[in-house]
Amino acid sequence: MTGAGRGLGAAIAKELAQRTIHVVCVSRSQNCEKISKEITMTGGTAEAIMVDVSDGKTVELACEKLLERHGTIDILVNNAGIARDALLIRMDEGDWDDVIRTNLSSCFYWTKHLLRGMVQNRWGRIVNISSVVGKIGNFGQANYAAAKAGMVGFTKSVAKEVASRGICVNVVAPGFIESDMTAGLPEKVMEEIKKNVPMKRMGIPDDVAHAVSFLCSEEARYITGTVLTVDGGMTM
């Protein structure tokens, strides 16, 4: 479970733990330890590892250690993400690369290293957290939208490759959800967003967590290669 240190990832980690799933909380900082402790203190089981998901070699080493410890990892949720917004004309290459590597390349790294065990086990669930921005684009977010749209193509391709092995690979595409990522938006922009959402509110992290939890369940066994949008009707 990447990006488990706060926001949507923390909510997803706690939701999965409630379903008696042992959760490996991954984040860049020590935030993952806090969430892992919260899970164990409330009766679940979890562990924390600090990994920069944008670095392929670091992810590979982390996966090796996890596989040594656990044999296989049954469920992978690629949630870690960043935004570095700027109008394209002012966007520098660093902001492009950081966003593509953190949001999109990270999915490739984790999936590549954890998929083999799922194939051998004939069971697995992979959920990639994209965004409605990957579908409709957004001012100042060409890098983010490209990464999030890329995740959809990636998901559908991998889903086709492993569908016959009992592995479901899906995308959850949230709309605007209350978290650190959206906390910095000006009040005026927030009001405008709410006006455009048929449900007239921002989502909360639990709204996303419930969707992810379902896609990770046994009951979701005939659902693969799909995009589940969680946006209060904004992009229907």
Residues that bind ligand NAP (CB under 6 A): 2-3, 5-9, 27-29, 31, 51-54, 79-82, 102-103, 129, 131, 174, 176-177, 179-182
20's CB contacts (< 8 A; 6+ apart) are: 44
* Smallest distance from ligand NAP to CB 55, Å: 8
* Smallest distance from ligand NAP to CB 143, Å: 11
CA–CA separation, 41 and 224 (whole Å): 34
Q: Report which of 172, 202, 173 is spatially closest to residue 185, judged by C-alpha positions.
A: 202
158's CB contacts (< 8 A; 6+ apart) are: 111, 115, 126, 169
Establish how many alpha carbons lie within 13 A of residue 145's alpha carbon, considering only the half-sphere containing its beta carbon.
14
Give the β-pairing of 227-230 and 124-129: unpaired
67's CB contacts (< 8 A; 6+ apart) are: 73, 113, 114, 117
Residues that are catalytic: 144
Contact by Cβ (8 Å): 52, 45 = no
* Smallest distance from ligand NAP to CB 117, Å: 21
| Helix, coil or strand: residue 110 | helix
Residue placing its CB nearer to ligand NAP in the complex, 125 or 148:
148
Residue placing its CB nearer to ligand NAP in the complex, 108 or 123:
108
Which amino acid belongs to residue 100? I
- Cα angle 83, 88, 90 (rounded to 5 degrees) comes to 95
Q: Report which of 111, 115, 123, 113 is spatially closest to residue 154, judged by C-alpha positions.
A: 111
Q: Write out the two tokens for 53.
A: 């998901």
